[in-house]
Each structure stands twice: as C-alpha cells, then as structure tokens.
Amino acid sequence: MDFRLQKLIKKYMLAKNLWGDCDVVSLAGAAKILADGNDQEKNFLLRQIRISLEKHNISQIIFMHHTRCGAYASEYEFAGHQEEIACHAFDLAQAEALVKSHFPALAVRKVLMVMEDDRGERAKFITLPPQTDKFIFNFRLDTSLIPRK
C-alpha cells in the first residue's frame, strides 16, 4: 500500500507472469496483520483470501513486504538493515503458518522488496524460503529485543 512502489511491483508481476492473472489485495502492513494484528484484522484478511480461493480458485498467495515500511518504522527502531530484514522475514513466516493452518492446499510465497532508495525507484526482490520446522527453529526472532517507539 505504498504509492512509491507501484511501478516496481508491476514490473515484478509482469516478469513473473502474474499481471492480469491474480487478485491484488494491498494493505498497510500486509502480512504483519496476520503476524501480530488483532482478531478482527486477521479475520478480514483471511476472508479476502477465502473469497479469492472460492471465487477464483487461487492456488497460491504471495505476501510482499518492503523495507523502509512506515508500518514497521512506526513500531520499531531497527539497529540496522539486517535487523529490519529479519523482522520482516519473521512476520512473513508467521503469516505463512497462519494461512497454511486455514488453507493447507494454498502455496505461500514470501517476497521481500529491499528498497535501495526512498523514492521506490530501485529495489531488489528477495524470495524467502518456504516455512519448514527447521527454518522456524533456526530463525527465531524475539521482537521484544528490538526497541519499540
């Protein structure tokens, strides 16, 4: 839900043959809602996924987060770039687990757009690995250790 990123996201979607062949739901915080939102917020997003599944027979969901995100910047004071990326990866893994618990047949892809400028003109897209017990075990992030604002 960041106007700065629309051109880059469209370019990514075109390159992956997704443009015109998917439902786009754009929300502030995106998968963060599923990771740590309240029940009403989570249920709203899960309902959107259910509608896409029932009406359009989707087979996968793609969560896309980006660095320099206001939803994260307003909550955390990251010590550095790697800590910010780790926090996004952790929330994306939690969102994946919740989606899989409700919709086990859906594939979940997690993409992190690492912004290289503040205008959204340059970025790298990183596809994060699928959730596995090993990945979650080796990647536990205690967000209580990240200073909150």
The pLDDT value given to residue 131 = 67
pLDDT, tens only, 13-30: 899 988 888 888 888 877
The pLDDT value given to residue 1 = 72
Structural domain tally of the chain? 1
Q: Per-residue confidence at 119, pLDDT binned at 50, 70, 90?
A: confident
**In whole numbers, what is the pLDDT of the chain averaged over residues?**
84
**Range(s) of the domain holding residue 77:** 3-19+27-145
Determine contact, residues 97/87, Cβ cutoff 8 Å.
no
Q: Taking 90 as the threshold, does the pLDDT of residue 96 lie above it?
A: yes
